[in-house]
Structure 1
Amino acid sequence: MNKLKNYLFLLCAILAVANHSTAQQLIRVRPVEIDDVLTNPGKGFMTFQRFNGDSLNSGNSWTEGFPIEYQEFDGDLTNEDHPATTIAYFRIYWKYIEPEEGNYNWDLLDRALQSATSRGQTLMIRIAPYGTYDNEDVPDWYRKMVDPKREWKSPVPKWAVDPEDPRYAQYFGRMIRAMGARYDGHPDVEGIDLAIVGAWGEGESSQLLSKNTMQLLVEAYTESFTKTPLIALLMDEKTNKYADSFGDMGWRVDCIGDLDFWAAEENGFAHMYDLYPQRIINCGVKDAWESAPLSFEICGTFLRWKEEQGYNRQDVEYIFNESLKWHISSFNAKSSPVPEEWKDLVDEWLKKMGYRFVLRTISYPEYVAPGEMFRFKSWWENKGVAPIYKDFLLAIKLTNDARTEVFITDADIRSWLPGDNIYDDAIAIPWDMPTGKYQMQIGIVDKQTHQPKVNLAIEGRTNEGWYSFGEIEIKDIK
C-alpha cells in the first residue's frame, strides 16, 4: 500500500510540473534593428598622434614618430570632420623611447595611455626603429656604437643601419622585451605593431634578412607579448608565416588607397592592385581575421586622394570594398579630415567594418520560479566583416524596484563570425529572488565590472548601455 501511495504522489508531482511547463506561453521578441553608425571597442577609425576631441592635422600632411604635442582639452570629445573613435594610435621612434642605452623613457607611453583612457580610447603602439631623415635616426648611442660615420652602404634605401649586425637584434630586441615586461596585458593597450626593420618600421625588404636575424626580431615580440594582441605588418612570406606560427597574429598594411600614387615611376605598380591581394595569399594570412584583428592605414590622406590623386566616389567605394573583403576591423586615417562629399561613404563603411551585432530573436517563458532554471533561445546576426576579438561577456539583467541581478552566460562571442549565430542557454534564478515582474535586459559587458561595453544595432538601449527586450514574472509555483 505504501508503495502505491508513493507512486501516486510521484505521478502527481510529475503531472504538476508538466502542467506548469505546458501551461506557460513562450514569449518571442524580435528587436527592431537600427541603421546608426555605432562606436564600439576595438573597431572603426583611430586618431593618430592625437586623441578624441583634438584638432586634426591641417591640410593634407601628418606627423609621426615624434613625441606627441598635447593639445589643451576643452572637454568636448567631438572630432570635427572625422568619426568618433575608440582607438588612439601612437607611433614613435626608438631614439625617444631609449635616449640612453638601457634607460627607457616610458613616460611617453604612460602619458599617451592616460590621455587615451581619459578620452574613451585604448592605445595602439608601434615603436619604429628609425625614419628616413637625420632627426629620425636610431638612438645616438646606438649610432655611435655601430657606424658613427655611416659608412655602411645599405642595399635598401629605407634601411638606416645594418640589421645583420648582431647588435641590432640584441638592442632593438631588448627594448621590445622591456616594453613587453611593462605593458603586456595592460587593459588600455589595444595592440602592438610587430615592426622589425625599415623606415617607420614598415618592413621594407624584410625578405633580405637572414633567417636567424628575422627570427630573433620576431621572437622579441612573440615572447614578450603573450596577452596583448600583436599585429604584424604584411612583409614577406617567411616573416609573416614565422610570426603567425606563434599563435593568433593579426596583420596590417600602411598604404590602403594606393591605386596610382607612384604608377608613373613604378611601371604602373599600385599597392591595391599589385601587392596586397597577392601578398595576403602568399604570406598565408587570408584567414587570420577569424581569430586576430586586421588594422589598415591610409596611403597619404583623404585630402590627397581628392586633391592630388583626383579620386572620385567610385574610386573611394572600390578602396573601401576591398578593405571589407579583407575583413578590416580598424583604420588609421592619420587624423586627416574626411571630405564632405565622402562622409556618407565613410558612414556606410563604418557600419560594416569589424563586428556589428543584431539580436534577431530571443524567446523565453512568461514566468519562472525562484530556484528554477530560466531557459532562453537567441538568434544573433553579425552584420560586420569580422568577429569581436575582445574577451567580453554576454549577460542578461533582471531588474525591478526590489532586486537587480546580472547573469553572466558562457557564450563565446569571439566565435561569432559574420552571418547568423545561435546561442541558447539556461541561467539559475536564485532561491531568494523576490517574486514580481522584472524588466529583462541584455548586454555585452566587461569581464571585471559587468558593465555594458558594446553598442548593439537594435532599439531599446538604456542610459546604462543595456538593451531592454521584455518582461518576465518570478512567482512561487506550488
Structure 2
Amino acid sequence: MGKYALEHYSPYETYIIRPLPLPEAPANPGRGQYHLVELKWSELEADRGEYDLTRLKEAIRSVHNPVLQITQTPPSWVKAEAEEGFAHLVRRVISALKKEELIGIIISSENSSKRVWDAYLEAAGDITLFAELKKDALLRYLKEKDCSFGILITCSEANWVDCCEKMAEYRLSDTWEKTPVLLSLEDELPGPNIRRESLRWHAGLSNYPLDIGYDFTIRRVVYPQKVESKGGLPIRFWIVNKGSAPCYQDYQVKLCLESELERQEFVLKIDKKTWKLGDITHNEIISLPVLPEGEYTISAGIFFSDGSPMGLDLEEEMKEGYYRLGKVTICSKTAMDLAHAWEDFYPEGYYPLEDPKVPD
C-alpha cells in the first residue's frame, strides 16, 4: 500500500505486525484424523450392573481424537429386555465421560430403538452425538426432536453423489456451523470427488489423515507503540481460519505482556460464535493494571479449556503457549487517552484491498 493509504492513519503511533504462516497446518486436537474406539456391550458390562469404566477410559486415552461407538452385542446374562438393558448401559457410560475427553459418541442404530436413542439424548449433555448419514430412521427421529447432532458420512468415490443427495434431503448442509462433520472413507485413498466434497461439507475430521478442520493464523495485529501504566491498550487483530471447519473445542484467546520484572496475562473478550471460517476481526481496548515502566514483549495465544495451548499457523516459535508479536513501551503518560481512543476514531480503518471488514 502507498504511504497515504488509510491503513497508515491513526491518531497515535502504532506497530503493524504481520506474522508469517507455516507451510502446513500444525497438529491440534479436534482436527485432522479421528480414531474410532469401538467397544461391545458385553465388554463394558460382562456382569449385570458391573460396568468396566476403566477399560472405557483407557481405550479413549490411548488414541488421538477418539470417537466412541458402543455396539449392541449383548453379554451372556441378557435373556430379555435387551433394549432396556442397553439403554441403562448408555446412560451409565456417557455419564462417566466429559466433553474434553473425546470428539463425540456415535448413536447406535442397530435395532432402530427409540428407547435407546432417547438414552443417548438424555445422557449426552454437552457431549457431541453423531448420527450416521446412511441411517434414515435415526435422522428422521433426530430431526423430529429438533436435536443438535453431528454427522458421520461413510463415503467413497462410488457413493459420493448419494451422500450429497442425502445431505440435501435432510437439510444437513449447515450442520458444520454447530457440530462436527466426520468422514469415514471406504476407499484406500480419498479420490478427487471426496476431497472436493469434504470441503463443501466442511468436514472437520476423517478416519484418514486428511488436512481438514480448523487452522488459525494471525494475519495482522495493530497496537500502540506506547501505552500508559493503568491505562488502555487498544489492539486490533485480523485472524484467519484457513481450515475447512470451525474449532468445536472450548478455548480462550489470551494476551501476555512480559518484561524482566513483570508478567501479566489478559483474556480477550471474543465472540466465539463469529469465529467460523475465513477472516475474523477482533478489536478490544484492554484495561491495564499498574505496571512498572519500560519495554515489554507482547504475545498472543489460544488455549483450550484444560489449559493446553493451540498450535497456531505461525512461523514464530511458541513459548509457554504464546507467540511473540512484538514490543510495547509502558510509560507514565501518553499524548492521548488510549482507554477512549476509539470514541472518535473508527478502529477498522478502510482497506478495500486487504481488510476483511469495511465500514457500514
TM-score tier after normalising by the smaller chain length:
0.7 to 0.9
What is the TM-score normalised by the length of structure 2? 0.83
Query: SS of 2:138's equivalent?
Result: helix
What is the TM-score normalised by the length of structure 1? 0.63
The aligned residue for residue 322 of structure 2 is 466
Distance in 1 between residues matched to 2:31 and 2:163, nearest whole Å: 21
Query: SS of 1:141's equivalent?
Result: coil
The aligned residue for residue 259 of structure 2 is 400
The aligned residue for residue 324 of structure 1 is 199
Query: SS of 2:269's equivalent?
Result: coil
Match of 2:76 among 126, 140, 148: 140
Change in 2 beyond 3 A, CA 1:401/1:89: farther
Deviation (angstroms), 1:168 = 3.7
Q: How does 1:387-426 map onto structure 2 within 5 Å? A: 387-413=246-272, 415-426=274-285
Distance in 2 between residues matched to 1:91 and 1:236, nearest whole Å: 18
Change in 2 beyond 3 A, CA 1:190/1:197: same
What CA RMSD, in Å, does the superposition of the two structures yield over aligned residues? 2.2
Match of 2:139 among 229, 236, 240: 240
Q: How far does the alpha carbon of each residue in 1:50-69 deviate from its partner, in whole angstroms, 9 at most, with x for none?
A: xxxxxxxxxxxxxxxxxxxx
**Conserved? CA contact 1:393–1:408, under 8 Å:** yes
Pairing 1:434–2:292 present: yes
Query: SS of 2:55's equivalent?
Result: helix
Match of 1:286 among 173, 176, 179: 173
Structure number with the higher strand fraction is 2
Deviation (angstroms), 1:251 = 1.0
**Conserved? CA contact 1:398–1:406, under 8 Å:** yes
Q: How does 1:117-156 map onto structure 2 within 5 Å? A: 121-130=64-73, 138-142=74-78, 145-146=79-80
Deviation (angstroms), 1:330 = 0.9
**Conserved? CA contact 1:122–1:190, under 8 Å:** yes
**Conserved? CA contact 2:131–2:138, under 8 Å:** no
Deviation (angstroms), 1:128 = 1.4
Structure number with the higher helix fraction is 1
Gaps of 5+ in 2: 1-9, 335-360
**Conserved? CA contact 1:394–1:413, under 8 Å:** no
Distance in 2 between residues matched to 1:246 and 1:226, nearest whole Å: 15
Distance in 1 between residues matched to 2:319 and 2:234, nearest whole Å: 27
Deviation (angstroms), 1:298 = 2.0
Aligned AA for 2:152? R
Pairing 1:386–2:245 present: yes
Change in 2 beyond 3 A, CA 1:472/1:379: same
Query: SS of 1:231's equivalent?
Result: strand
Change in 2 beyond 3 A, CA 1:421/1:241: farther
Please identify the structure whose Cα radius of gyration is greater.
1
Pairing 1:217–2:93 present: no
Change in 2 beyond 3 A, CA 1:462/1:236: closer
Aligned AA for 2:106? D
Query: SS of 1:36's equivalent?
Result: coil
How many residues align? The count is: 324
